[in-house]
Structures are given as C-alpha cells and as structure tokens.
C-alpha cells in the first residue's frame, strides 16, 4: 500500500489559493484513504489549466479519466521531486 502524503493544515499546496479551501478539503478527506494522487484526484482540467497559467500547479502532467461511476479523477504522472519542490509540494513516485 502506498504511504499517504504528509497532508497538514500548515502545508498548503499552491493550487489551493485560500487556506480556508485547503482546511475544508482536509476535513472532508480526513477518513478517506490517501493515494499517491492525493488532492490531484479532486482537481479538474479547468482548475488545472488556471493553476498552470498562474504557475501554481506542482503536477501539470496530471491527466484526467472518467471512472465507471462517471466521476472525473485526476491521476499524477510519476513526479520529478525537483519540479514539485519548486511549487511547494512533496512529490512522490510509485
């Protein structure tokens, strides 16, 4: 099983523009299992595009797929830790 990221209120990814949004996301996902894709799973192509243009996306290679239930889910590529560090995110591969 993949180890979860260190997701804490104090370590807000840059793609969460407001701290309050990050806190709400953490609260709603507190008991859900974390995958290597973490918060990118809940992103969407429109938000990703906005964050890429604003240079606030640590994982611009994230792709989106539609699951069997019709929900769009973001999937991170294997990340280059040096790139993610530029954007204030802890990258993991696997």
The per-residue pLDDT for range 38-57, each reduced to its tens digit, is: 889 889 999 999 999 999 99
What predicted TM-score, i.e. pTM, was given to this entire model? 0.68
What pLDDT does residue 55 have? 95
pLDDT at residue 7 above 80? Answer: no
In Å, how far are 29, 35, 78, 81 from 32, measured between CA atoms?
5, 9, 22, 25
pLDDT at 80 over 60: no
Say how far apart CA 62 and CA 78 lie, in whole Å. 9
Closest CA to 17 of 25, 29, 5, 27: 25
Q: Which residue has the higher pLDDT, 85 or 25?
A: 25
The pLDDT of residue 33: 52
């Amino acid at each position: 099983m993949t180890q979860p990221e260190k997701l804490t209120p104090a370590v807000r990814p840059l793609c969460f523009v407001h701290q309050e949004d990050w806190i709400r996301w953490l609260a709603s996902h507190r008991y859900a299992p974390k995958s290597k894709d973490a918060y990118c799973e809940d992103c969407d192509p429109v938000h990703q595009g906005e964050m890429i243009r604003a240079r606030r996306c640590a994982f611009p290679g994230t792709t989106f797929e539609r699951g069997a239930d019709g929900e769009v889910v973001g999937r991170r590529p294997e990340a280059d830790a040096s790139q993610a560090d530029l954007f204030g995110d802890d990258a993991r591969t696997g």
